Structure 1
């Protein structure tokens, strides 16, 4: 997610811009011709608007790579207590290949880190390496069981769940995935040059990667455009089976992620909020879900690292 707020606001966009954003959230690789038909403008005008939205930072269109397709099948969400200033610790943890996300938090917990690993042994080794940091006093780790909701677009139209089917990726796939991770709207002609293949063969391969869930092209709408002030993480304890409770929690609007985990907590969630009153309302709505016993919340302050391409090197 993006934590900076010097971004375009929704007030800076007109109705055509907003309609374009909705269309691109639905399909980040929609052609200019398809967008022109949907909006009712010329292709040239639509292309100019899309490029302006991208250049201004109002939207980002990129390929999200499912790490499981690259051999990363174990995930852990960790709240970390650190002694002294947390920024140096965050910097050191961000250097770890297994650390996909590193966030500095407000509250009693100084840091949040998501680790990704090839197997349980690799994951344990990564967490132990983090524990060995001289400033780390403790780590509360929760292992991922299943995602219930993942809304990468941070938009009501963009509920996307992680779900790659089994597929072996080769060196050509890796080249294509690297390019799509940087530019989700790269043309098939550009991708064919990267892959060293014909246009038709490249198109077939990219569509197969997308159909298998290995890569999902997503339009990320900036927080400023959505009127989002910030993000908060929720660590939730429940009574009884976690699955039904997690499904109910996922129905709460403005939660961008809900997952079932193992550890001291049973469910984790991420919320986007407009202001403190909105965050308080969201927390109460989650607390009111039947089966929720306790919610521990923490506000994201600084995103030190976000890496969605582990394994592509």
Structure 2
């Protein structure tokens, strides 16, 4: 469970993941060692990972979302088999008319075709519904984190 200090630390890092411990400590009004230990714990618990993000569309890449249906195997086992595929950035088990949700980025259409063929070869994959992203209006992994959805992550009292 995150406390208020953890939420504030995440909020500050969501705005600028390159901030120094000294800068964070000053704004949070705690010691640098507190920031360092809290950040280490958040990373150790897989609550937080600091990465650099780019807009793949602006780089000319193919961005695709894929909805998969699974047959004869569990969705979790199929998801595990997809984790090692290089171009897949996101694998999630979902509820509804599909079993898995994937996000992937490919250099171009031929690489996208190769990716889809590789996914189809995975045991248990019954069908794939690709959704080609042509433009991002809002992305929670980028600017969206500055809105209320990202700020309230982990806050049990958030609306």
Answer yes or no: same fold by TM over 0.5: yes
**SS, match of residue 138 in structure 2:** strand
| CA deviation profile, 1:1-36 (whole Å, cap 9, x unmatched) | xxxxxxxxxxxxxxxxxxxxxxxxxxxxxxxxxxxx
Distance 1:245 1:214 in 2: 24
Contact 1:228–1:273 (Cα < 8 Å) also in 2: no
Contact 2:63–2:132 (Cα < 8 Å) also in 1: yes
The TM-score with structure 2 as length reference comes to 0.78
The 1:288/1:179 distance shift into structure 2, 3 A limit, reads: same
Counterpart in the other structure of 2:122: 289
The 1:278/1:205 distance shift into structure 2, 3 A limit, reads: closer
- Across the two proteins, how many residue pairs are aligned to each other? 145
1:168 equivalenced with 2:2 (yes/no): yes
Q: Which has the larger radius of gyration?
A: 1
The TM-score with structure 1 as length reference comes to 0.42
The 1:296/1:201 distance shift into structure 2, 3 A limit, reads: closer
Distance 2:3 2:55 in 1: 31
Counterpart in the other structure of 1:203: 36
Distance 1:300 1:224 in 2: 8
Counterpart in the other structure of 2:152: 311
Point out the structure with the larger strand share: 1
Counterpart in the other structure of 1:233: 65
CA offset at residue 287 of structure 1? 1.2
Contact 1:236–1:295 (Cα < 8 Å) also in 2: yes
How does 1:264-279 map onto structure 2 within 5 Å?
A: 264-279=97-112
Distance 1:224 1:304 in 2: 12
Distance 2:110 2:3 in 1: 46
Counterpart in the other structure of 2:18: 185
In the alignment, structure 1 segments of 5+ residues that lack a partner are 1-166
